[in-house]
A and B are shown apart, each in its own frame.
Chain A
Amino acid sequence: MASASRRARAAAAARLAVGVATTLFGLVLVTFVIGRMMPIDPVLAVVGDRASAATYAAERAEMGLDRPLPVQVWRYLRALAAGDLGTSVVTARPVIEDIGRYFPATIELATVALALGLALGVPAGVIAAAHRGRWPDQVIRITSLLGYSMPAFWLGLILLLVFYAELGWAAGPGRIEVFYEDLVTPVTGLLLIDAPLDGEWVILGNALAHMALPASVLGLFSMAYIARMTRSFMIEQLGQEYILAARAKGLSEARVVWRHALGNALVPLLTVVALAYGSLLEGSVLTETVFAWPGLGSYLTNSLFNADMNAVLGCTIVIGLVFLGLNLLADLIGSLLDPRVE
């Protein structure tokens, strides 16, 4: 019986590995082909507009672009298998190093935004469900709808104009003031951690000030999503028979709602949170652009404009892996919280 269970687990792990590999392969292949079909010449990003034909041809050959497409794909995959994502033509550094530099900025922003989203979204969703059809529900639903449908770049610009340009309450674009750059020793790449580790409290304050507006924009977006989904899961739970039984036992309404119903809504909510975190990590491109936030989104956009395909492919793979990883993590935690989930 135990060995059958082990075999089943091994088979599930193998299926998962094949699924991940196939997804990544498909992702790389599609991105590679689209990249080569783009109407931008990647050699231009390296040699500039005025290079002689000889210089241009030499660089094109060095980049391997004179080879047939299948050969280019094969060479890329071979290097990828060895953990080499290639070199960015824009930064002239290994893509893996660039990602190591830019991704922490995105993680930091997304994590703070998610924390805001969770802190506001879950209680809002629970309250809306508990007061279904009444004014708190209406207020929360309208707020969520607004948060979900408002374009992030527009909201970002408005917040910048009001809180930075007009009122001067918040710091402006960027991660920190440029004259504080290069003063913190990078350990994790997360300024909110590295600055206090280095005893740079002024820089921590500056980093927090710069974080406020972009994190609020993204936080509002995730709050709206989490609140809507929490409300929906809670309404479903509050209609279950065990809730009726709990109320019949004389439990307080707060205990019924916050402990029993919310406890059971947590499992599907975890997947929602994982997805929200995933979209914050890859979907904050516009917010990063508006706030000049030096994250993966900005790096990806810049790379796309320069047809820097190694960088684009590297980012695509990382984002794909993050999505797969977060979904897997949500499944694992879900199975821990609810033994019925395999």
Chain B
Amino acid sequence: MIESRRALRRFRRPAATAAAMFAVLAAGDAAAATPRSVLVMAKSLDDLITLDPAEVFEFSGAEITANLYLRLFRPNPDDPAKPLGEAVSSWRASADSLSFEFEVRDRLPFASGRAMDAHDAVFSLRRAVALNKAPSFILTQFGLSGDNVGERVRALDDRRFTITLDRAYAPSLVLNALSAGIASVVDREAVLANADGDLGEGWLRNHAAGSGAFSLRRWQPGEYLLLDANLSYWQGPPALKRVAIRDIREPSTQRLLLERGDVDMARNLGPDQLAAVDGIDGIRLLVVPRARLFYLALNQKRPPLDRPAVRKALRYLVDYQGIAERLLGPAARVHQAFLPQGFLGALDDRPFDFEPERARGLLSEAGLAGGFEVRLDVRSDPIALRLAQVVQATMAEAGVRIEIVPGSAKQVLTRYRARRHELFMGQWGPDYLDPHTNASTFARNPDNGDGAAERTLAWRNGWEIPELTARADAAVLERDPARRARLYQELQREVQADSPFIVLFQENEVIALSDRVEGFAAGITADQTSYHGLRK
């Protein structure tokens, strides 16, 4: 027994050492408040693949590049048909509307110190077309291609350049397309100095050569992204020296960091976390209406989803209001048309409510009185899954037995793109602030064959619509904004009444932020988010 006490005493030494070590570790800089000149944001950057504006096509990338680069135009939330010049000070269309001439603002400095000229704008557009990355169709839809872009996008002198189109498109469509991220102006000298026969594609993925309010200090994928203030920004330097974005995927972790003051802003809190932080001293919620839509898609290649009565019945089997009020809270509002509020021609009609009796009648008419079984592909994130469960429960009231098939985002998209789904719960955000961006995918399907070149959402759901496609194509040529708006409203009413799409909600982004933070500016599209006015 005496020996065992001795043994215990010997144990105490290393145990005490370990305890001391832990104490040193834990007593380090445990409580670090964010500096006043730095805004620390917790945001999931899981969709960030590149920072090259010719390639950026996801939400995070669109937001960040909008702060790194000036685009030719910027969206006008007050009048979506009239985008505002950003790098461009003035423009005019030719009499036949086939050619547009632009003048670049005088002495716009890049972060490198060089002044922007028309050759930079021309280089940026030609580069984007030549690289032919995901968003390139925003430019190539006007007849530009790798073969003709050198001829059709030309500098007239150091200040002026022209773009020649293949048809007389509505000017609002052309200018709105030039307000998309792909129309960002890159510093051609910086890009060419770092190009390796790839037009600087490799370099611009994680570097920046812009003239926006911020310059890129470093992007460490999966960890953080640091933006430094561009002191030569044409509208004056930002109030903050730096914006630091921590790539935090877990909403609960974002909440903890915000509550402890380790971040100033949390961008991806779910309804549960938002409810938990709402009312905490020093934290407030900011609701930003966004243009992203939640929708259900019905694959028309899978019976009985191809029957009109079934498509209609399913529209009456979603408890829109209940979900918005009890599940999504401030994060969404009921919206049932393919153009979100804030767009030219947006439709606020909400003809569908939860009416299981009516749905049962429609299913009986279709010879499906006993209902049917169907699989629903859904992203396995908590909100989408809960939404799917509620839809599963309400649809069951008319005998529609849904089997939920959860998967990672890429997994469910793989099935969706290959038309292997039955029901799909998706989200869709527009590419630029013109109605054609959504009409071209919800109401357009030029070729429903498996080898089609254009694979719109209508194609993914096997929806053959030659007449609607022709009307969507005609709407891009309508030059009168009021008449154009009416054309899109008619298209929406038809898609709303009978199509494979059940549009459910329009998203609101709910941001939880410290009371110290002011000046966060955001619009309905991600690229309208500006860090320039942020201050603490």
- Which residues of A in the span 43-102 have a Cβ within 8 Å of any Cβ on B? 44-55, 58, 89-93, 101-102
Question: CA separation between A98 and B337, bound complex, in Å?
Answer: 44
The minimal Cβ–Cβ distance linking B40 to chain A, given in whole angstroms, is: 6
Please report whether the interface of chain B is mostly helix, strand, loop or mixed according to DSSP. Answer: mixed
How far, in angstroms, from A50 to B431 measured CA to CA in the complex?
A: 10
Report if A127-B7 is in contact (Cβ < 8 Å); known contacts: A170-B30, A178-B246: yes
Size class of the B contact interface (CB-based, 8 Å): 35 or more
* Stretch binding the partner chain, chosen from B17-25, B177-185, B504-512: B17-25
Q: Which residues of B contact A292 (CB under 8 A)?
A: 246, 248, 250, 253
| CB < 8 Å neighbour of A130 from B7, B24, B58, B134 | B7
- Chain B residues near A211 (CB-CB < 8 A): 25
**Which residues of chain A (130-148) have a CB below 8 Å from chain B?**
130-131, 134, 136
Q: Are B453 and A52 in contact (CB under 8 A)?
A: yes
B441 to A: closest C-beta gap in Å: 8
Q: A130-B3, A169-B30, A172-B256 are in contact. List 9 more A-B contacts (CB 8 A).
A: A48-B57, A115-B21, A173-B248, A173-B256, A178-B245, A179-B40, A205-B28, A205-B29, A209-B28
With A58-B132, A182-B226: A254-B3 Cβ-Cβ less than 8 Å: yes
Q: Which residue of B lies closest to A223 (CB)?
A: B18
Task: Name 26 interchain pairs, CB-CB below 8 A, sorted by A.
Answer: A39-B411, A39-B415, A44-B414, A49-B417, A51-B134, A53-B452, A54-B453, A58-B132, A89-B49, A93-B206, A116-B18, A122-B14, A160-B256, A169-B30, A171-B30, A171-B32, A174-B246, A177-B32, A177-B34, A181-B220, A205-B29, A212-B28, A258-B7, A289-B250, A302-B221, A302-B222
Give chain B residues whose Cβ lies under 8 Å from the Cβ of A289.
Answer: 250
Contacts of A89 in B (CB 8 A): 49
**Bound-state Cα–Cα, A215 to B246, Å:** 21
* Contact mask for chain B residues 40-82; partner A; CB cutoff 8 A; 1 contact, 0 none: 1000001101100000011000000000000000000000000
Whether A252 sits at the interface, judged by CB under 8 Å, is yes
Question: Which single member of B224, B242, B253, B410 contacts A305 (CB below 8 Å)?
Answer: B410
A315 to chain B, nearest CB (A): 13
B222 to chain A, nearest CB (A): 5
Which single member of B11, B17, B137 contacts A52 (CB below 8 Å)? Answer: B137
Chain A positions within 8 Å of B454 at CB level: 52-53
Does B29 lie within 8 Å of A172, measured CB to CB?
Answer: no
In the complex, are the beta carbons of A55 and B22 less than 8 A apart?
Answer: no
A 274-288 to B, binary, CB cutoff 8 A, 1 in contact else 0: 000000000000000
Q: Which residues of B contact A320 (CB under 8 A)?
A: none
A216 interface residue, CB < 8 Å from B? Answer: yes
Closest to A212 in B: B25
User: How far is the CB of B450 from the nearest CB of chain A, in Å?
Assistant: 11
Asked if A12 is at the interface of the complex by the 8 Å CB criterion, the answer is: no
Contacts of B224 in A (CB 8 A): 178, 181
Chain A residues within 8 Å of B246, by CB: 174, 178, 292
B49 touches A48 (CB 8 A): yes
Determine whether the beta carbon of A172 is less than 8 Å from that of B260. yes
Q: Could you mark each residue 155-190 of chain A with 1 if its beta carbon is under 8 Å from any beta carbon of chain B, else 0?
A: 000001101110011111110011101100000000
A92 to B220, CA, bound (A): 11
Residue-wise, chain A 180-205 has the 8 Å CB interface mask toward B (1 for contact) of 01100000000000000000001001
The SS class assigned to the A binding surface is helix
| Contact assessment for A182 and B455 in the assembled complex, using a CB-CB cutoff below 8 Å | no
Chain A neighbourhood of B262, CB < 8 A: 172, 177
Alpha-carbon distance A134/B7, docked complex (angstroms): 14
Q: Mark B207-223, 1 if CB is under 8 A from A, else 0.
A: 00000000001101111
- Chain A residues within 8 Å of B135, by CB: 50
With contacts A55-B133, A92-B50 taken as known, whether A208 is within 8 angstroms of B413 at the C-beta atoms is no
For A289, the closest partner residue in chain B by CB is B250
**Contact yes or no, B25 A208, CB < 8 A:** yes
From the candidates B49, B245, B257, B452, name the one contacting A46 in the complex (CB within 8 A): B49
Contact B28 A206 (CB under 8 A): yes
Alpha-carbon distance between A181 and B222 when the two chains are bound, in angstroms: 13
A136–B134 contact, CB under 8 A?
no
B326 at interface by CB-CB < 8 Å: no
Q: Does B136 contact A (CB under 8 A)?
A: yes
Q: Across the interface, do B4 and A130 meet the contact criterion of CB distance under 8 Å?
A: yes
Q: Which residues of A contact B527 (CB under 8 A)?
A: none
- Min distance, Cβ B238 to any Cβ of chain A, angstroms: 16
Question: Is A124 part of the contact surface with B, judged by Cβ < 8 Å?
Answer: yes
The answer to the question of A269 belonging to the interface, with a C-beta cut-off of 8 Å to chain B, is no
- Interface flags, B232-259, vs A, CB<8A=1, else 0: 0000000000101110101001001101
A147 to chain B, nearest CB (A): 14
Bound CA span A177–B454, Å: 45
Contact yes or no, B4 A48, CB < 8 A: no
- Complex: how many Å from CA A169 to CA B26? 7
User: With A54-B132, A116-B18, A181-B220 in contact, is A254–B6 under 8 Å at CB?
Assistant: yes
Do residues B49 and A120 form an inter-chain contact, with CB atoms below 8 A?
Answer: no
Alpha-carbon separation in the docked complex, A44 to B22 (Å): 44
Given known pairs A131-B4, A177-B262, A215-B25, the reply for A45 and B222 (CB within 8 Å) is no
Is A233 an interface position by the 8 A CB rule?
no
Q: How far is the CA of A252 from the CA of B5 in the complex (A)?
A: 13
The answer to whether A294 and B11 touch across the interface, beta carbons within 8 angstroms, is no
A122, A169, A171, A254: residue with the most chain B Cβ atoms closer than 10 Å:
A171
B8 within 8 A of A: yes
Which chain B residues border A307 with CB–CB below 8 Å?
410
Kindly state the separation between the CA atoms of A165 and B224 in the bound complex, as whole angstroms. Answer: 22
**Partner among A115, A136, A172, A298 whose Cβ is within 8 Å of the Cβ of B8:** A136
Whether A90 pairs with B10 at a CB distance below 8 angstroms is no
Report yes or no: A127 in contact with B8, Cβ–Cβ below 8 A: yes
Q: How far is the CA of A40 from the CA of B49 in the complex (A)?
A: 16
In the assembled complex, the CB of B491 is this many whole angstroms from the nearest CB of chain A, namely 20
Known interface pairs A46-B49, A294-B223. Does A40 touch B411 (Cβ–Cβ under 8 Å)? yes
A171-B256 in contact (CB<8A)? no
Q: By the criterion CB–CB under 8 Å, are B205 and A92 in contact?
A: yes
Within 8 A of B (CB), among A253-297: 253-254, 257-258, 289-290, 292, 294
